[in-house]
Amino acid sequence: MSLGSKKQSHFKPLMAKQLKLNDYKQQIADVYNRRSHNYDESQWHLKIAHRLVEYAQISPGYDVLDIATGTGHVAIEVAQRVGSSGKIVGVDISTQMLTLARRKVEALSLSNVELQLADAEALNFPANSFERILCANAFPLMTDMEATLRQWMQFLKPNGLVGFHALADAALVGVVIWQKIFEKYGVLQEFSQPTGTTADTAEKCHNLLERSGFEAIDIKTEQYGNYISLEEAKQRWTINSYPAPKFSNTLFQLPSEQLQEIKAEFDAQLEALVTEQGIWNDGTSFFAFGRKGKNSEQ
């Protein structure tokens, strides 16, 4: 895909046939490769991506980096906003997600989108390359969030904006119940969160951006929850759909009898939450933004 000689020389391709990933990141890549075939059926991901782009205030001519682009929700919307004078670079570690994104980009004849297979925590763009760096739905999966944000800041132009989406600790009923049960059974589970521990709050997202050196920090809080049926809630038992360090591997090493016991308790706790409307699946979300200083040397 041709992106213009000027842009081509500025953004050196990072595309590789295969990435060298540690076990955790390979787990994430495998999960999203498996999910790629029906990922676009989720209205959740589309809504989150759209809202993040709206808050980011994208202008024509901007160069934008889309972290964990997936099937291209953010990248495609940004490409249409920046126009032919701007550019969007989307990176992801899932080859299957990128394949779908590329098909969509080509179907829309977008010539200002570059898709790259790359690790979001090991990028190598020139300093001061982008007006915006965005990450929808994937930032909580980063292994060292403060270090990652500092790295991304280097790629931002002065006064540029970084924006990411994160979920509150009470979000996603299946995850909440897992945590309670696995604490009870002593199963190792280390969900990677912007706080470095468990709960996400607007204050903790703010502090993370502040420690990473960002200014003019703004956190938007919105609710994307809904009621789901008991049957749908029980389907959230598919642990390997939610990658987390050491989590799935440790869980599935348990004896089958103990797994059955945990599954039964998972279902029982869901049944206790049923109301006339169904089971409330909380979707409290944070859209966190920080600006690189105008005189920053990073």
- Residues 182 and 259 sit within 8 Å (Cβ to Cβ): no
Residue 242 is predicted with a pLDDT of: 55
Q: What is the residue-averaged pLDDT of the chain?
A: 85
Q: What does pTM read for this prediction?
A: 0.86
Residue 188 is predicted with a pLDDT of: 52
Which is more confident, 231 or 189?
231
Tell me the per-residue pLDDT of 146-166, one tens digit each, with 9 for 90 and over.
999 999 999 999 999 999 999
Model confidence at 6, pLDDT cuts 50, 70, 90, reads very low
Residue 197 is predicted with a pLDDT of: 36
Which is more confident, 260 or 15?
260
Per the structure block, which two tokens stand in for 297?
Answer: 């040397």
Backbone angles phi, psi at 114, to 5 degrees: -120, 125
Which is more confident, 180 or 285?
285
- The CA distance from 57 to 35, in Å, is 30
Residues 6+ apart with CB under 8 A from 257: none
Residue 249 is predicted with a pLDDT of: 53
Tell me the per-residue pLDDT of 98-118, one tens digit each, with 9 for 90 and over.
999 999 999 999 999 999 999
The residue among 218, 216, 219, 220 whose CA lies nearest residue 296 is 216
- The CA distance from 68 to 101, in Å, is 11
